[in-house]
Structure 1
Amino acid sequence: MAVSSLSLSWVSSTNYNKLNLPHYNEFPRATTASLFLCNNITCSADSASNEEGHCRRRQLILGVGALTTSLLNASSLFAEEIPQNYKAFVDFSDGYSYYYPSDWRDFDFRAHDSAFKDRFLQLQNVRVRFLPTEKEDIHDLGPLEEVVSNVVRKKYAAPNQIAEIFDMQERSIDGKNYYTFEYQLTSPNFSTISFSTIAIGNGRYYTLIVGANERRWRRVRDKLKVVADSFRMLDI
């Protein structure tokens, strides 16, 4: 996703607002009240008529005075926290946010709400999806080891893949609980290693997966761990 300053995605007041915020060093410095920002505005069709989330883009010039309250809040929220060489994706309507490498671009990943990938390496990407649930917390699914084993071996792995789990972590941030784990899926012809963060809130079961080809994992592991650990649920 090419971003010159701030990127705001919306449908309407009845749908969702998504923000794509750059590192704080990239925020323009206002010198007068009449300063204008160049933004990428993504207009998505209603999910009921476009479940794949395809969207069309157009360039608009917005005055600072016309920025929404959500945009201002997000700028304040992330301006001092976004790591160098990362950007923040924020979805206020669906209630989540995360960081991704600033040189990645957005793409459509089937049945996912948002996704970004390396410009040259297709398997190096992050994607987020969510499903409705009556559960209220990730702990309602069971203890960490049991849940992760079931998710990786029964949900993530295809019948022809061998699954191996390397690490599991449980975190609690602002009263919200997250399970993050590292795992490998090996197929007859290739192997990938990924981090996944799962959480429950807002009546949704959220899943973030960020991974790469096994051959590149050692070089990018720490970089992708930042993405996995950055996932947050927002109150909606």
Structure 2
Amino acid sequence: MEKRRTLLFGLGALTGNLLPASSLFAEDIPNNYRSFVDIKDGYSYYYPADWREFDFRAHDSAFKDRYLQLQNVRVRFIPTDKKDIHDLGPMEEVVPDLVRYKFAAPNQVINILDMQEKTVDGKSYYTVEFQLTSPNFAIVSFGTVAIANGRYYTQIVVANERRWRRFRNKLKVVADSFRVFDI
């Protein structure tokens, strides 16, 4: 992964000429955040500057708080023949099923706190804020999904439920910054 990161940061200067204009590239990175741009796989996002990269099984990229291990962001994608997130159905149907069948374990109680739909640079996103409660712990997350490049992208930003109120706004910056772009 270190080679890929070096390549991504090394090619960062070229992205302005090679990639179409995107609001993520046009914006200034917020204070205390860094930008992760994966040119090869067609997505980007911000993450807190004090977080560290780590391997998260079956995910393409992941960063976590170095002290609070449950606070992290991770992105994965799978192939799809869909062209847009709307091809899956309306947000009010897709998001609850996504949380129930993909994000939650069978023994977890699900509480969907908020759902939002947005379009940026012609790409549509569904974002859900949800809580998963197990017998021994609870977590709260933002999950964002998008479709581009024949891929179904998923970004998860998570924290322990006890810390959610304190860190929610910081984590929302990460969730809101997720973008997919054509490769």
TM-score of the two chains, using structure 2 as the length reference: 0.90
**Aligned counterpart, 1:142:** 89
Larger gyration radius, structure 1 or structure 2: 1
How far does the alpha carbon of each residue in 1:154-212 deviate from its partner, in whole angstroms, 9 at most, with x for none? Answer: 11110111111010000001111000110000000000000011000100000000010
SS at match of 2:168: helix
- CA drift of 1:72 comes to 3.3
**Aligned counterpart, 1:185:** 132
Distance 1:173 1:72 in 2: 22
Q: Which runs of 5+ in 1 are unaligned?
A: 2-6, 11-17, 20-66
- The reply to whether residue 72 of structure 1 matches residue 14 of structure 2 is yes
**Aligned counterpart, 2:167:** 220
Distance 2:5 2:80 in 1: 28
Structure number having the greater helix percentage: 2
- CA drift of 1:78 comes to 3.8
Distance 2:161 2:16 in 1: 35
Stretches of 4+ aligned residues off by more than 2 angstroms:
7-10, 70-80
Pairing partner for 1:231 from 171, 174, 178:
178
Alignment RMSD (CA, Å): 2.2
How high is the sequence identity, in percent, across the aligned residues?
69
**Aligned counterpart, 1:120:** 67
- Map 1:80-95 to 2 at 5 A: 80-95=27-42
Pairing partner for 1:164 from 101, 111, 134:
111
**Aligned counterpart, 2:56:** 109
Relative to structure 1, the CA distance from residue 71 to residue 168 in structure 2 (aligned partners, 3 Å threshold; closer, same or farther) is: same
**Aligned counterpart, 2:6:** 9
- CA drift of 1:80 comes to 4.7
TM-score of the two chains, using structure 1 as the length reference: 0.71
Q: Relative contact order: is structure 1 or structure 2 higher (C-alpha 8 Å, sep ≥ 6)? A: 2
- CA drift of 1:71 comes to 2.7
Provide the aligned length of Structure 1 versus Structure 2. 177
Distance 1:141 1:148 in 2: 10
Distance 1:83 1:231 in 2: 14
Letter in 1 for 2:77: F
Distance 2:71 2:5 in 1: 24
- The reply to whether residue 129 of structure 1 matches residue 71 of structure 2 is no
Letter in 1 for 2:96: S
Contact in 2 for aligned 1:193/1:213 (Cα 8 Å): yes
How far does the alpha carbon of each residue in 1:74-119 deviate from its partner, in whole angstroms, 9 at most, with x for none? Answer: 5997475211110000001100000000000000000000000000
